[in-house]
Amino acid sequence: MRLSRYFLPVLKEDPKEAQIVSHRLMLRAGMIKQQTAGIYSWLPMGFKVLRRIEQIVHEEQARAGHIPMLMPTLQPADLWRESGRYDDYGEEMLRIKDRNKRDLLYGPTNEEMITDIFRSHVGSYKDLPLTLYHIQWKFRDEIRPRFGVMRGREFLMKDGYNFDLTKEDALHAYNRHLVSYLRSYERMGLQAIPMRADGGPIGGDYTHEFLVLAETGESEVFYDSQITDLTFGDRQIDYDNVAECQAVLEEFTSRYARTDETHDEAVYAEVPEERRRTARGIEVGQIFYFGTKYSEPMGATVRGADGAQVPVHMGSHGIGVSRLLGAIIEANHDDKGIIWPEGVTPFHVGIVNLKQGDNSTDAACDAIYAELQARGLDPLYDDRDERAGAKFASMDLIGLPWRITVGPRGLTTNKVELTSRRTGQTEELSPQEAIARIAQIYQPVLGVTVADK
Ligand code: ATP
Ligand code: MG
């Protein structure tokens, strides 16, 4: 993309309404525009990052054998009356009447609808296991929408639902989700720690929230510092292997890590004192096993091997896709702006032309731009007629991880500068070397295609 042709409405001043850094930087970098409390338009660059995050989620769900679909945002109230949640949900649910006075609602989540789809089409244990998911907008009329996209009213969520014959199988689905979530967050450049959460009325040990540590997090968390040493990395996993997935769950959940909702001083006291940590965290996902909570009242049963009808065991698993933009920025910025991790950056590399209008500099930039694109990379070329200082300030603000700076002086010896946004370190290289370096850096990030299992 050439910046002169793009729509990137960068703000010069800090917006007054933003209380936290990610909100401020998203507004300043022209990524979002608030339309009313907790409801945002996604301007092109914000939309691009949102899409990159969605893509990672899709790829990792496909790897785990989970099947994508799409359910509507509006749902009939009757389904929620069947589960009893129409009355229980309270003011957070946006209730709507259509012209025929039928009650609808803007879905805050989809357990009822997916259970309805399941009961309409699946009748035998032979069709199990089954995990379906979608990435769709949700609406929750939060009392206090704030912090930009972190606590919106309309927000994008990935929500997945597993259907299994037995509790044992459903717990394997739970573990698959845990593994796929660990992989997803790491690809986004985040460490999200699974913490034992409150199962609410469902109870039991079978829910974990994933938290990104950040000062601005809304949850207070308590953990054993050893847990921050764990990474999933690029190890291979067979998602059909029950023991392998269980081992990952045990590895990542055996150390103390809880939110204030489940914190237990007595258990925490068993952690050696020098490893006890208190911090704040942003919830970026949650997984649940809830058994037959919905399948029983809604009649989602299958014929078992012995011919008897049994309610299926279910779980639901959510990732806060739009909240993740805020969380990623909270964890990756400095006083000049955002520092995107390579996995989610809106553009892979910025090209700064120091002397726009100079024939040889323009030609060199055009050639670099074309070559990067030919290699499957997505560069942003700042071809505006602006001072170098202004171009650098915009690049730092929008936070592309790499910048290639091209000026007439360097070109006399066939040199450009390659600068890392994170470290600020600059190297002088030939244009070909700089392109090769960028291609190499992004090789692990690009071209991940996963066929549906
Ligand atoms: P919270 O405790 O933050 O209100 P929740 O536990 O009610 O969230 P879930 O039902 O677990 O949310 O939804 C799955 C994910 O969706 C959450 O982990 C979070 O990342 C995201 N999410 C929930 N509410 C919002 C919101 N108002 N704005 C943006 N993202 C949200
Ligand atoms: Mg939650």
Of 337, 358, 390, at which residue does a domain stop? 337
Would 416 be classed as within a structural domain? yes
Would 188 be classed as within a structural domain? yes
Q: Are 307 and 100 in contact (CB under 8 A)?
A: no
CA pair distance 299, 312, nearest whole angstrom: 9
Query: What average pLDDT does the segment 176-200 reach?
Result: 94
Atom number in ligand 1 closest to CA 157 = 16
CA of 316 to the centre of ligand 2 (A): 11
Q: Is the CB of 283 under 6 A from ligand 1?
A: yes
* Same domain, residue pair 188 and 56: yes
* Same domain, residue pair 301 and 423: no
Type and span of the H or E element at 381: strand 379-382
Q: Are 248 and 179 in contact (CB under 8 A)?
A: yes
Answer yes or no: is pLDDT of 199 > 80.
no
CATH number at residue 74: 3.30.930.10
Predicted confidence at residue 380, as pLDDT, reads 98
* Same domain, residue pair 304 and 404: no
* Same domain, residue pair 285 and 358: no
Report which protein residue has its CA nearest ligand 1's atom 15. 320
Angle ∠(43,44,50) on CA atoms, nearest 5: 90
Query: What average pLDDT does the segment 336-364 reach?
Result: 98
What is the tens place of the pLDDT at every residue in 376-409? 999 999 999 999 999 999 999 999 999 999 999 9
CATH number at residue 352: 3.40.50.800
How sure is the predictor about 205, in pLDDT bands with cuts at 50, 70 and 90?
Answer: low
Which ligand minimizes its atom distance to the CA of 140?
Answer: 1
Would 342 be classed as within a structural domain? no
Answer yes or no: is pLDDT of 202 > 60.
no
Answer yes or no: is pLDDT of 452 > 80.
no
CA of 102 to the centre of ligand 1 (A): 28
Answer yes or no: is pLDDT of 449 > 80.
no
Would 260 be classed as within a structural domain? yes
Which has the closest alpha carbon to 361: 406, 403, 404?
A: 406
Torsion of CA 421, 424, 425, 427, to 10 degrees: 60
Range of the domain at 443: 347-448
Would 415 be classed as within a structural domain? yes
Would 373 be classed as within a structural domain? yes
Predicted confidence at residue 5, as pLDDT, reads 98
Query: What average pLDDT does the segment 431-450 reach?
Result: 87
How sure is the predictor about 444, in pLDDT bands with cuts at 50, 70 and 90?
Answer: confident
**CA 344 vs CA 26, 91, 258: distances in Å:** 14, 35, 28
CA of 383 to the centre of ligand 1 (A): 40
* Same domain, residue pair 258 and 374: no
Average per-residue pLDDT in the chain?
96
Report which protein residue has its CA nearest ligand 1's atom 16. 320
Question: Which residues, chain by chain, have CB under 5 Å from ion ligand 2?
Answer: 286
CA of 284 to the centre of ligand 1 (A): 7
What is the Rg, in whole angstroms, of the alpha carbon atoms belonging to the chain? 24
Query: What average pLDDT does the segment 132-155 reach?
Result: 97
Q: Are 342 and 348 in contact (CB under 8 A)?
A: yes
Of 337, 361, 392, at which residue does a domain stop? 337
Predicted confidence at residue 417, as pLDDT, reads 98
* Same domain, residue pair 177 and 241: yes
Q: Are 357 and 387 in contact (CB under 8 A)?
A: no
* Same domain, residue pair 321 and 419: no
What is the domain count for the chain?
Answer: 2
Q: What's CA 402's distance to the chain center, in Å?
A: 22
Q: Is the CB of 151 under 6 A from ligand 1?
A: yes
Would 21 be classed as within a structural domain? yes
* Same domain, residue pair 421 and 375: yes
Query: What average pLDDT does the segment 58-76 reach?
Result: 98
* Same domain, residue pair 132 and 153: yes
How sure is the predictor about 453, in pLDDT bands with cuts at 50, 70 and 90?
Answer: very low
Would 453 be classed as within a structural domain? no
Of 304, 337, 370, at which residue does a domain stop? 337
Q: Are 141 and 94 in contact (CB under 8 A)?
A: yes
Report which protein residue has its CA nearest ligand 1's atom 24. 151
Predicted confidence at residue 105, as pLDDT, reads 98
